[in-house]
Structure 1
Amino acid sequence: MLEGHYFDGLVEAGCDEAGRGCLAGSVYAAAVILPPGYDNPDLNDSKKLTAARRNALRRQIERDALAWAVGIVTPEEIDSINILRASFLAMHRALDQLAVRPQAVIVDGNRFVPYQNLPYATIVKGDGKYQAIAAASILAKTYRDDYMDALAEEYPFYDWKSNKGYPTKAHREGIRQHGISPYHRKSYNLLGDGQLFFDFKE
């Protein structure tokens, strides 16, 4: 069972991102504030759950949370500021949208850019340790998957329905055969050969 609060007595938002390692698409992050004493034993790291389970839990989280929000940073912004900064920016955008103002932030991982001078904690594998971070990981993952599924309808060459933009063999073969889409991150090594594709024909 995952932990409840990290900061006792403070309104605490859990944050996580999805899509950092993808070759294409926006990076998504979510922020979730759960009620005091809330306990959902089904919450876990989104990567350990089936798609159906994640979607069912998303509905529960959106129903039960005191506040939740999703922040998005585009491929163009990722290319401009780098993916690490983009991940933090997506989290800040999610936090900005919360209907309840947090007094502290807990984040999956080992790095974070402070948000409005609030106290924060970075927790390695936090999505498997704290319920608010697990909830954020589920929202970020499901909203990003829905977005990539929609893009896959427009650009079927890259197998995004299956890989969600991650660097699979089928994805890279699609890039070789069809070039890149407007949604590819040009600052990434798209073909896995050490070359960047800023000048790749679109």
Structure 2
Amino acid sequence: MRNKIAQEHLSPPEYLRHFVPPRSIHRRHHHHHPNTIQIYWNSTNELFSLSSSQSTAILYVHLGDKVDFICPKSMNPLYDPVEYNSLYIVSKDAYRQCYSSNYKPLIRCNRPFETQIYTMTISNFLPYPDAIEFHEQQEYYFISTSNGDIEGIDQKYDGLCRTKNMKLIMDVQKYYNHYSSIPNLTSNLLSILSTKMKSA
């Protein structure tokens, strides 16, 4: 199931370069050039629509990488839909149950006609007091419990996490992954995204 999902989406969407099945990941070298990975944090992102209640979007990153969470932006206020949401990093239990009542948002996407970006450095050092400390071989959990409306941007349960499966697991790796089993991979790979089945 995982490999089939990955192989059907080899034409890269705008927000990523390539889908790869997890079994195609090979850790053959220990050299890693840090990347900046962009995640469009909106409920219409194919990353979430490809998932279901029993499958989860996973982002593989490495120590030294940076991740930009890009808020929804409406280019035309008359015709484009507007979405408001908040981004949370939560515990595994909160991730599974779609609640954020004990957490502060990393960013509130409340200006849909402006560019809002939350940049996160994947590091096990804390450059400033509020920075998040990451460790290799660990997973981190991101959700949005907003309902998409401005009135529900601070909603603390369910919301888009439940209705649109708007949640993400970040899997931190130590070394750069090199690939040999999938042809025509770009050498400037920005992100590695796949889906894997999670038990309910």
TM-score category of the 2 structures, normalised to the smaller one:
under 0.3
Higher helix share: 1
TM-score normalised by the chain length of structure 1: 0.25
Q: Work out which structure has the larger RCO, using CA pairs closer than 8 Å and 6 or more positions apart in sequence.
A: 2
Higher strand share: 2
TM-score normalised by the chain length of structure 2: 0.26
